[in-house]
Structure 1
Amino acid sequence: MTMAIVVLVVSGALLIGAAWGIFGKLRPGVEGFLIAVAGGSLLVSLVTELVEPSIDESGIWTALAGLAAGAMVFAAVDYWIDEKVGGDSGGGLLAALTLDGVPENLALGVALIGAGAPEVAALAGSIFLSNLPEAAGGAREMKEGRSKAAVFGLWAATAALLSAAAIAGNLLLAGSSPHLLAVIRSFAAGAVVASLATEVFPKAYGEDRHLAGIATAVGVCLSFALGQLSGG
């Protein structure tokens, strides 16, 4: 039941966000505000849910190595997207969601083993908060020059991939070495850091420069509130 709830949230946030971006009207200011909120939430999550557990489980050097690797891989893929696809195509946000989402959801699946209702609610809320506006913004940009069905299908495939990662983490990584899980978490953290610097905050500022800082603080506050709900 717990796993089903999280899978529904992971996939639902992406699908709802993509549908909003493709078929709805999303004002640039609203989009920028929501993406900044997501960025603020991710700032807290990458420290408390990814970096700190990695350091506790495997030491500072393993965590730093994984973080650096995640950032470099994301930067390389983001560069390739800019050169081959186009920086304004929405592909950058899709890469951000995929590169930080796959390892993060692998670790999430393990974390959910034995988790109670408050922990599930907090995790599900964090995922929904961060994924929905990024999917909306990315899908809106990607529909230029593509059919709406093709864009929605691509985001649906991404939702399926991230859901599968969470299920795999829950079923296959239970009992795995703490060092392996630390590498997965720290790699995800590095991808999150790189995506925040190159995709999330620049886009939020470009769309809503006057309120981007406030929106980021709102995201930080919401993330801490969700952490308190889980007892963190």
Structure 2
Amino acid sequence: MLTTIVVVFVVSGALLLGAAWGIFWYLPKQLEGFLIALAGGALIVSALSELIEPALAKTSLLWVTGFVAAGAVVFTIADKLVGENLGEKSGGGLLASITLDGIPENLALGVALIGAGPMQVAALAGSIFLSNLPEAAGGAKEMAQNRSKGQVFGLWAATALLLSVAAIAGNLLLAGVAPEYLAAIRCFAAGAVIASLATAVFPKAYREESYTTGLATALGLLLALALGELGGK
């Protein structure tokens, strides 16, 4: 339990670190885009190796396919509804958008930590950390243009706390779930993560960094492979 709490709070702490970076220091758009693409590449590998592949050992390819697709569909619909009904100008809309983007990753982390040591989910935790850092920095920088720095940092702090509590609660509630159901939840989370990469992460990375996005994505993929190898030893 202590391991889960430490890992979740370290990963969520990247939101606070990133928000402080975006509010109080300069963040070049090219660097922001490069880091986002790097994290995206790492998350692709992590979703496959830490969520989908373990699920395949517990259930069939048909079930894996169905739940990955379900996760992607649900995230896409939720993302569309948030964007259309709340927008990104109101505080509630910003909080909803930020939280929605973080839910799949934190759910994936909480589920992956069930019955595993910290090194076994090193790739996933590291990938989410890398993803949270530039996302929070870029988002906080934009938000600070229309709000006070204290308000912006408070919003990100509340989001980090909310996502941390949700990940820990999910980890505790799902700890006793049967392996086949846990496999389905892993796949659902993986599908949502992949959908969020396609709709939010890579498009933003390309807008900020353009043609080196592909290179950064490949480097992120290799980084996740290296962390996975380290975690497997």
Moved more, 79-88 or 169-178: 79-88
2:167: which partner in 1? 166
Moved more, 203-212 or 88-97: 88-97
Q: How does 1:208-219 map to 2 (within 5 A)?
A: 208-219=209-220
The question of whether the paired residues in 1 share the 8 Å contact of 2:123 and 2:228 is answered with yes
4+ long deviations beyond 6 Å: 87-93
Note the residue ranges of structure 1 that are not aligned, 5 or more in a row. Answer: none
2:226: which partner in 1? 225
Describe the superposition over 1:168-201 as per-residue Cα deviations: whole angstroms up to 9, x where unpaired. Answer: 2443322311122112211111111111111111
What is the aligned length?
229
Q: How does 1:192-211 map to 2 (within 5 A)?
A: 192-211=193-212
Secondary structure, counterpart of 1:221 in structure 2: helix
2:77: which partner in 1? 76
Describe the superposition over 1:97-120 as per-residue Cα deviations: whole angstroms up to 9, x where unpaired. Answer: 3231242133033143xx2x6336
> 2:95, 2:139 → 1: CA distance?
7
Note the residue ranges of structure 2 that are not aligned, 5 or more in a row. Answer: none
Moved more, 145-154 or 190-199: 145-154
Identity %: 55
Write the letter of the residue equivalent to 2:98. L
2:190: which partner in 1? 189
The question of whether the paired residues in 2 share the 8 Å contact of 1:37 and 1:220 is answered with yes
Is residue 102 of structure 2 the alignment partner of residue 101 of structure 1?
no
Displacement of 1:216 in angstroms is 0.6
Q: Give me the TM-score of the superposition, normalised by structure 1.
A: 0.86
> 2:160, 2:24 → 1: CA distance?
18
Displacement of 1:165 in angstroms is 3.1
Change (3 A) 1:227 1:93: farther
Write the letter of the residue equivalent to 1:23. F
Displacement of 1:48 in angstroms is 0.7
> 2:147, 2:115 → 1: CA distance?
38
Displacement of 1:65 in angstroms is 2.0
Write the letter of the residue equivalent to 1:99. I
Displacement of 1:37 in angstroms is 0.3
> 1:174, 1:126 → 2: CA distance?
23
2:114: which partner in 1? 110
